[in-house]
Chain A
């Protein structure tokens, strides 16, 4: 979703931003874990984006820009701060903890276990949850995720891999395997 290099007008903003509404809300709800707070976050995101239209660089990724505003707004919100939303300094460099929860073969899940998976996603640390959601749910490219989270692509790749492993381990625990 790259925007032409001419000036982004408010009318164009509305056309670009409203189709992202459902996705942004979903992401906001995953971050805040609460409906009213998610609504406040989305509302604040749209208001900030509209106010800061001039700061948007035409030719860059609009979706990533919107998600970045939402995420930054969340990180500086009371809920975000309370959740300790900052990423641990060693999160992407820490040595891998050997998994003791069985092999990957043991975690085939079906549709009936979706709620279990949702609970597991919910329990992931924020920095894992967001990268996982941006990739698998929002289907962002690594570059878009890097733009959104303001991290290098290499970090996106390693963090995503760790997030998936963490999710699998959580599921294995929940499935008692």
Chain B
């Protein structure tokens, strides 16, 4: 019971009793000198403990360290927002880079085909369309010996619509190559052959494609880049390409 009473006395001093009980104890203490003394001692002890208990102070360095760590710590909501923003930015960056890359590739490829088309047009516009004029592949091919750093095979054109007109030197990206001119009906088709690394911008595609109204097909074979280009039909270009591919493999 004494325990319970002292506990209530402490609660009274701590202001933790309901107001009715507070008043009751207050009234009792006023009329009871021993209890009044006890309360006085308890109040004094409580104050002394309060003062003595505030004993330790953190150093300013430690406080700064914690603050820096708190500020440095990725904040959950900021982190999540930042992650979302980062993801969007990363996607945009990848899309932009991809777009640049693809655009760059496309631009480079367009420029290369423009250059090839120019070579084709320039050859046809020249008073000397070919440097070696012959329909005989065994004449044209050897003409390139010593002029270009590679060799190639020409197809047998008998029983085809195609006729070999001749050949001439061509340069693409400062690299020497061969330009072979074929005729199909009234159309001329140029077939350029370069070392593959001389025209890195050119990419092989599936079948015949179009560039400034010219039909063209490009492919690689044996480290060489072939480009067949002309104003004839895509079907003609494709047939010639097949003949050349077959010859290269033979």
Contacts and interface: CB of A to CB of B under 8 A. Distances in A.
B52 A118 contact: yes
Contacts, number: 118
Contacts of B62: 25, 39, 42
A175 interface: no
A136 B41 contact: no
Nearest to A113: B48
Interface stretch (A57-65, A76-84, A103-111): A103-111
Nearest to B11: A157
Given A96-B3, A160-B10, A10 B78 contact: yes
Of B11, B38, B48, B62, the most chain A CB neighbours within 10 A belong to: B48
B55 A43 contact: no
Interface in B27-78: 37-38, 41-42, 44-46, 48-58, 62-63, 65-67, 69-71, 73, 75-78
A121 B77 contact: no
Interface of B: 2-3, 6-7, 10-11, 14, 16, 37-38, 41-42, 44-46, 48-58, 62-63, 65-67, 69-71, 73, 75-78
Given A9-B75, A10-B77, A142-B16, A121 B70 contact: no
A164 B54 contact: no
Interface string A1-40: 0000001011100100110011001100110000100110
Given A47-B73, A161-B3, A137 B54 contact: yes
Given A114-B51, A164-B10, A9 B77 contact: yes
B56 A38 contact: yes
Contacts of A47: 69, 73
B3 A164 contact: no
Interface string A106-126: 011101001001100100000
Given A9-B75, A108-B44, A137-B49, A22 B58 contact: yes
A170 to B, nearest CB: 12
Interface of A: 7, 9-11, 14, 17-18, 21-22, 25-26, 29-30, 35, 38-39, 42-43, 46-47, 50, 53-54, 96, 104-105, 107-109, 111, 114, 117-118, 121, 132-133, 135-137, 139, 141-142, 157-158, 160-161, 164-165, 167-168
A133 B56 contact: no
B63 A105 contact: no
B3 A137 contact: no
Given A25-B56, A141-B16, A96 B2 contact: yes
Nearest to A35: B56
A24 to B, nearest CB: 9
A17 to B, nearest CB: 8
Given A25-B56, A118-B55, 20 more contacts: A10-B75, A10-B78, A14-B71, A21-B66, A22-B57, A22-B58, A26-B55, A26-B56, A43-B69, A50-B70, A107-B45, A109-B48, A117-B52, A135-B14, A136-B49, A141-B16, A142-B16, A158-B3, A160-B10, A167-B45
A25 B59 CA distance: 10
